[in-house]
Amino acid sequence: MTDAEYLAHIESAIQQIKAHTAGMSQEAYEADSKTQRAVERNLQIVGDAAHKLSKGLREAQAQIPWDDVYAARNVVVHYYFGVNQKIVWDILQSDLEPLLKAVQGLLAPGSRDAE
């Protein structure tokens, strides 16, 4: 797969997270295990795809915290019953939108980094 394909997977997974949590309060999210599992699965996809990006792209886009993205994936995968949903909620509120905008910028026509 190419960097552009991995970036498209990241974009899609973030869009799915946003769709699953649209209009939800933190309390509603924390009470909804089905939504939590959907979010966790999509965070796993985001982390897996980020980890598979080429070293060149990750270095060229060092302002994006790729290691943190992958670390979040590892927590969701390896600590599935110990995942702190308050932390996940904070990630959803603070970190996803900047990552989405960065990925969309890389996918934009004319961007050379995703080639």
pLDDT in tens, 40-79: 999 999 999 999 999 999 999 999 999 999 988 888 888 7
Q: Is the pTM of this model over 0.85?
A: yes
Residue 115 has pLDDT above 70, yes or no: no
Residue carrying the six token digits 């796993």: 44
For residue 9, indicate whether it is catalytic. no
pLDDT category of residue 113 using cuts at 50, 70 and 90: low
CA-to-CA dists, residue 63 to 68, 85, 92, angstroms: 11, 26, 19
pLDDT category of residue 110 using cuts at 50, 70 and 90: confident
Q: Determine whether 113 is exposed, middle or buried from the number of CB atoms within 10 Å of its CB (0-12, 13-18, 19+).
A: middle
For residue 73, indicate whether it is catalytic. yes
From 37, 41, 51, 73, the catalytic residue: 73
